[in-house]
Amino acid sequence: MLRFTALVFVVSLTGCIDAGDVRTSLPSRTECVPISFCTYNFGALTPKVEPAEYSAKFRYIAEWPGVIIDSSIRDEGGNGYVVPGFATKESGAGIWWYWMMKRGNEFKGYDPQGSVTLRQLAMNYAGSTDPSSASVQNYFIGYSSHAPKYFLRDVGLDDEVSLTSPDNVWNLARTMFHHEAGMRITDDVLSRSQFEKGISLAEAHIAGQRVSVEDFIAE
């Protein structure tokens, strides 16, 4: 159930409580740099509508366990829309996996037993079918540049990256998260154990289980 105030609404199936690594609010906008790090929205999933309209097209964000929407946290350098935040790093990592499984690939989702390419993801994220567009080219350059830092090898735009490999998924996520933040994804930003707990949270949510963010905190 969504609870609205003038500026903030918080969603958690058990309620966001102060419990160690579970937070109930976001840093101030002036402290929020880079914004994808401080919001834990590592994939920078930012609807181009105001939060009151999320239930129409972005219900998956509005109902995500641990989502925190603060209307003062906006992508001022981009389109000016509110950037959703999350109560835990695991929750923020998990919603990226939900996007991969349910929203990417023209809303068909990518097959977890299949593979993806950087080209496919770049065009999906840019929201364009024109590979020559400036937005797509920006993703092409970014992904191609960042991928070797995590895969420890060159990854071509059309190289198949198997999603059956946990290592590949982790490296792919960090490549994409790096591009959104403009900074390297180190363990203090997001550890592998936090990321994998986030994947587990997402898979439980996708399976229709009742999810509490407090049950998906990495040790």
Kindly report the number of other CB atoms within 10 A of residue 164's CB atom: 11
In the prediction, which pLDDT does 118 show? 98
In the prediction, which pLDDT does 185 show? 98
Alpha helices in 35-88 (DSSP H): 35-38, 54-57, 59-62
Strand (E) or helix (H) holding 78 = none
Q: What are the structure tokens assigned to 19, written together?
A: 């419990």
Number of DSSP helices (H) and strands (E) in the chain, helices first: 9, 5
pTM of this prediction exceeds 0.95: no
Low-confidence ranges of the chain (pLDDT < 50): 1-20
In the prediction, which pLDDT does 15 show? 34
In the prediction, which pLDDT does 6 show? 28
Q: Starting from the edge strand earliest in sequence, which strands make up the sheet with 8-11, in order?
A: 8-11, 67-70, 85-86
Q: What are the structure tokens assigned to 5, written together?
A: 């105030």
Q: What is the CB-side half-sphere exposure of residue 145 using CA atoms within 13 A?
A: 13
Q: Helix, strand or coil for residue 106?
A: helix
The Cα 98–Cα 90 span in angstroms is 12
In the prediction, which pLDDT does 78 show? 63
**Cβ atoms 108, 122 nearer than 8 A:** no
